[in-house]
Amino acid sequence: MFKNNWWKYLGVLLVLYSLVAGLYIPLGPGIMEVSPSELQQGETNAVLITGHGTHFKDNQSSLKVWIKQGEKNFCANSVTIQDNEKLAATFDVPVLGKEPLHLVVNNDADGNVVFDNAFWFNASQKGARVTEVATCDIAVKNRKSAETSFPFLKILFQTIRNLFYHVPMWFAMIAVLVGGMVYSIKYLRRGRREDDIAASQITATAMFLGILGIVTGMIWANFTWGQPWPDDPKLNSVAIGMLMYSAYFILRGAIDDEEKRARVAAVTNIFFFPIFIVLIFILPRMTDSLHPGNGGNPGFSSYDLDETMRMVFYPAVLGWILVGYWIAQLKTRVKKLEVLQDE
Amino acid sequence: MNKLFATLALFMLGATAVTAQNEATASVAGADKSMVVIGVLSAIFIGLAIYLFILDRRITRLEKERKNNA
């Protein structure tokens, strides 16, 4: 029993691990807001910084605050800590170039907490009082958060965890589709009826996973992109791909002759798979897409997907692939029993 | 028998989830009540997995019966 089914147990364990770890590991520290977000050039600026999950007060001694512009850094000349998530800092800001301004807060517990494009600056500089800025020391002990945590990203915030639940649906769908295609090829080679049944049931399971992917994606998109179905090439491609595969099932239903149906379905299935891959992976990359990894947007893997994320994400993908194959196998076996019953 | 076992297992899981939640509120300050959500989700998923295993075993039994009859 266990010898043949070990991969099913493994799949369940991996998914369970991803559920627990993906929710248990906290979100890392980050900066929610700075006010004002406009810097007066050539003046001394007082800025109020609001963090989230940060430890400003607990690590007062190691706290450093600076503004980063390209290679230049402007350290805060005074910092007043209100509590763990609130501090006020004053900066001497000279006349600045056009490059974006980032804010960095560092302490030993939180590591580098970066707020990209934190400030913009006023266009006019009347009577620049501050002309030169002293070099400042930005050597820090920890660049990374001391606590194991997921990265704090604007817009996503806590929903970054959805990466472990939404994305594996698609990975599992594609992995299961590959299985369906393999059985279609097997059918064409050997003409065995069992292979045709397996191909159809595996493809049906892939459709089920795809629908779960669409539904979970719509819930996530509604929060992060403002609407459940934004005008995004990846979404539209996936919709076309799913319709294509529903044509596969309509085709199966339309042909009465068993052998003919199996052969036509097998050929269609083999042709649909590369079209589907082109639709969801290649075409969205050629235009602008909201999805990471497409059209100018960096993929999660380039810098957002840090080690902690990988630790949960890869097991989740593998786990869902295994569970997907398990469901497909059960469906195939039931269908075989049913078909044999009819004879 | 299987069903009884599965139900008992789920109840035990529920009980562990409850204790886990109490510990979480007592000690881990930053974890809020996310333990409750983790417990609920785990219970649902383990329940589904048990269901799949039972289904698997039933299909195996049917397949064996077929083989013997044939």
Tens digits of per-residue pLDDT, B59-69?
Answer: 999 999 888 88
The candidate with the shortest Cα–Cα distance to A7, out of A236, A319, A294, A250, is A319
**Interior CA angle at A164 toward A161 and A167, to 5°?**
115
Higher local confidence (pLDDT), A281 or B13: A281
Contact at CB, B34 and A5, closer than 8 angstroms: no
Task: Verify whether the Cβ–Cβ distance B35 to A24 is below 8 Å.
Answer: yes
Average pLDDT value for residue range A162-172: 94
- Per the CB < 8 Å rule, is A16 touching B45? yes
Q: Does residue B27 register a pLDDT over 60?
A: no
Chain A positions in Cβ-Cβ contact with residue B53 (cut-off 8 Å): 8
Measured CA to CA, the distance from residue A288 to residue A300 in angstroms comes to 16
Query: Which is higher by pLDDT, A113 or A243?
Result: A243
Higher pLDDT, A243 or A126: A243
Contact A8 B37 (CB under 8 A): no
A31 CA: distance to closest CA in chain B (Å): 17
Q: Is the pLDDT of residue B1 over 70?
A: no
Decide if pLDDT at A97 tops 90: no
Give every CB contact of residue A191 below 8 A, 6+ residues apart in sequence: A259
State the average pLDDT for chain A.
Answer: 87
Of A130-134, A140-144, A272-276, B66-70, least confident by mean pLDDT is A130-134
Give the C-alpha separation, A207 to A217, whole Å.
Answer: 15
Characterize B6-41 residue by residue with b for buried, 16 or more Cβ atoms within 10 angstroms of its Cβ, and e for exposed.
beeeeeebeeebeeebeebeeeeeebeebbeebbeb
Tell me the average pLDDT across A198-216. 95
Question: Residue B11: which pLDDT band, with cuts at 50, 70 and 90?
Answer: low
For the cut 70, the answer to whether the pLDDT of residue A267 exceeds it is yes
Overall average pLDDT of the A127-147 stretch: 76
Residues in B closer than 8 angstroms to A327, CB to CB, are 52
CB proximity B66 to A under 8 Å: yes
pLDDT at residue A302 is higher than 80: no
Nearest to A333 among B30, B53, B63 (CB): B63
The CA distances from residue A117 to A33, A137, A208, A292, B20, in Å, are 11, 21, 41, 19, 41
User: What is the torsional sign of CA A50, A53, A54, A57?
Assistant: positive
| CA distances in angstroms from B56 to B4, B24, B63, listed in the order given | 17, 36, 11
Q: Kindly report, residue by residue over A325-340, the tens digit of the pLDDT.
A: 999 999 999 999 998 7
pTM of the entire structure? Answer: 0.83
Q: Identify the pLDDT of residue B9.
A: 63
Contact A19 B35 (CB under 8 A): no
**Residues in A touching B23 (Cβ below 8 Å):** none
The region of weakest confidence among A72-86, A208-222, A255-269 is A72-86
pLDDT above 90 covers a percentage of chain A that reads 48
User: Which residues from chain B sit within 8 angstroms of residue A326, using beta carbons?
Assistant: 52, 56
Chain B, residues 22-51, CB within 8 A of chain A, namely 30-31, 34-35, 37-38, 41-42, 45-46, 49
pLDDT category, B24, cuts 50, 70, 90? very low
What is the average pLDDT across A222-243? 91
The pLDDT value recorded for residue B28 is 46
Beta bridge partners of residue A39, listed in sequence order: A121
Q: Does B53 touch chain A (CB under 8 A)?
A: yes
Cβ separation B45–A326 shorter than 8 A: no
